[in-house]
A and B are shown apart, each in its own frame.
Chain A
Amino acid sequence: MALSSGAGSGNSGTYTPEITETLRFEEEIQSLMGVNLIPPGFECSPPVNAGSSSFTALLGLQPNQAVELLHELDPAPSPAIAAGASFRPFGCSPTFPSNASLIERATRLSVFATADGSPEGSSAIPSNSEGDHSPYPKSEPPDSDSKPRRPAKRKDADKSSKAKSLTKKGKCFPGDDDGDSFANLDADKLPYVHVRARRGQATDSHSLAERARREKINARMKLLQELVPGCSKISGTALVLDEIINHVQSLQRQVEILSMRLAAVNPRIDFTGLDNLFTAECGRAAAAGPGPGWTDGVIRRNQQQHHHYEHQQPIWHVDHQQQQQQQETAGWERDETPLHHHVFISGSSSGSPPGTSLFGYDSAASAALPLSSQLKSEI
């Protein structure tokens, strides 16, 4: 590539330290993260072995000079650059960070290089909350998002503890949102999260495990507190558990009472008549919360049917009862065929199929009377 070496060298005088820092940064990123840690779903990274094409990745970084400088400087680290630059998506803004920030980052990175090989270390650096690290946070969050790890603030005092904790086997660590600690809101969904010791806390493995377990339990308790109404104001585990137990018992009692109600209502109701209601409601109100609207629709539809039938054939009601008694008992046994009829009739009520359903009410009414009287006497 014919480059104006004069311009290149002139520029290189200004940019060389930055470029070398960048190169070292990339190399160390690559060495830390390892090639196999590139997630397969990471679309924005060009393939690692595309050596020559990855130079274009650096084009995003620095349009002209980078290419010149890279060609000038060293072809040897080009695979490293390729690998390192592969972590940088094309969509990065081409703003080149300032000299001081690069050096700072590189020093930090070299510090982390001494720790155990941890991808979180490298991902923690760029997502550090500093304003001018604009390209790096953009590159790393897609990286870290694809990995189930949350970037956290880095503390110098905790490097050793972090190294220790990272070598531990995995466990869930639902961190809490204290000031210095590391928020991990969706820790419940992760296979494991690196446990990070806070300032001034013991960092031996026992206490870390204890703390992780406690955090897990506290997270579950919080979830339960949100679920049970009125528990958020109560402080203290025992009282909260009391409330939860009471709530569960009351819910179970309500279920019992409702089942008694359903048992009382059951014999009088013809299920074939209500099947069409269900299908219509399910088809219509699939998305909407069907609680109150559902019952209203059911009631309305039933009333529609009844009124229509009454209006048309007030006298058939008595005659047909004797004639169709057997038919309707047969209809109750086999549930499938009336169902097909009712699906068609969803909105309109006409003809005999609703008639059979209404007969169900009449014939069962007499059977239901002793039952309801029995229940009344019990209660």
Chain B
Amino acid sequence: MISSPCSTSAAGRKKQRTYFRSPPESKWRSGSQQLIYGRRLFDALRAARSGGGRSAISSRDIKNAADSALALTAQAQTRWSRALLFGCCSRRKVLLKAAGKIRRRRPPRPARKFGGNASPEPTPMLKGKKVTDRLCVLSRIVPGCQKLSAPCLLEEAADYVAALELQVKTMRALADALCASSLSSPSRESAPSTAGACDEFAS
């Protein structure tokens, strides 16, 4: 599954590569993806656990681990996934560019007159000010999508929304399972207090 954001090949190259962009729903809603992500998340949690030793694990670490696992599951084909993966690195720009170059197999597009509008604002002439503002906000929310044209931004947003839904579903299932299994532990004296803690988060 190659998902390349808003790419159009030049006329001469139309037969050389099969250009296939899968819709985000089918990609992210398959059960196998959930299993893959669940497994990855679990491994990441365990790695974070053993790495932290006896110290308390902060929720931010878990969130970062979950996001990294999600970006890995996306196979770093989208901009937001790359930004999530390489966002913590110091030399992120180099890494992002490198990732982009590795993924892109064809030479950069020749200069085109009407090729996709790559400016930050997607044609303020055509769309109203409101829409432009919303698109700016959206570009800030979706990681790694600053200065992206409108169609690319929308595509990234669609993929990101699907991925987030998967993440929420999986994390909720994992948290429920862990909570329930901890509730049914034989140590009954601690059960009520932890049950209380779990129920607080469950609400």
Contact A295 B180 (CB under 8 A): yes
A349 within 8 A of B: no
Chain A residues in 8 Å Cβ range of B117: 213
Complex Cα distance A39/B161, Å?
A: 38
Interface flags, B43-61, vs A, CB<8A=1, else 0: 0011001100010111111
Chain B residues in 8 Å Cβ range of A244: 138, 157, 161
The listed residue (B49, B63, B197) touching A375 by CB distance below 8 A is B197
Q: Which of A122-130, A175-183, A285-293 contacts B (4 or more CB under 8 A)?
A: A285-293
Known: A227-B24, A365-B185. A278 touches B173 (CB 8 A): no
B residues 6-45 near A (Cβ < 8 Å) are 6, 8-11, 13-15, 17, 19-21, 23-25, 31-32, 34-35, 38-39, 42, 45
Complex Cα distance A369/B194, Å?
A: 7
Complex Cα distance A335/B56, Å?
A: 19
Chain A residues in 8 Å Cβ range of B158: 220, 223-224, 227
The listed residue (B46, B141, B168) touching A258 by CB distance below 8 A is B168
Chain A residues in 8 Å Cβ range of B160: 248
Contact A269 B178 (CB under 8 A): yes
Chain B residues in 8 Å Cβ range of A255: 63, 66-67, 164, 167-168, 171
SS class, residues of chain B in contact with chain A: helix
Least Cβ–Cβ distance between B85 and chain A, in angstroms: 16
Interface flags, B147-178, vs A, CB<8A=1, else 0: 00011001101101110110111011111111
Complex Cα distance A233/B49, Å?
A: 45
Least Cβ–Cβ distance between B44 and chain A, in angstroms: 11
A residues 177-222 near B (Cβ < 8 Å) are 188-192, 205-206, 209-210, 212-214, 216-217, 220-221
Chain B residues in 8 Å Cβ range of A217: 122, 150-151, 154
Q: Which of B71-79, B92-100, B123-131 contacts A (4 or more CB under 8 A)?
A: B123-131
With both beta carbons as reference points, the residue of chain B lying nearest to A219 in the complex is identified as B151
Interface size class of B (residues with CB under 8 A): 35 or more
Chain B residues in 8 Å Cβ range of A191: 8-9, 13-14, 17, 19
State the total of A-B contacts with C-beta under 8 angstroms: 265
Complex Cα distance A206/B126, Å?
A: 14
Chain A residues in 8 Å Cβ range of B187: 361-362, 365
With both beta carbons as reference points, the residue of chain B lying nearest to A307 in the complex is identified as B184
Contact A237 B21 (CB under 8 A): no
B108 within 8 A of A: no
Contact B127 A262 (CB under 8 A): no
Contact A221 B171 (CB under 8 A): no
Contact A278 B39 (CB under 8 A): yes
Known: A262-B178, A368-B194. A286 touches B35 (CB 8 A): yes
Sorted from nearest, which 9 A-B pairs have the closest CB atoms? A209-B114, A220-B154, A241-B134, A302-B181, A261-B201, A298-B177, A259-B63, A372-B197, A258-B171
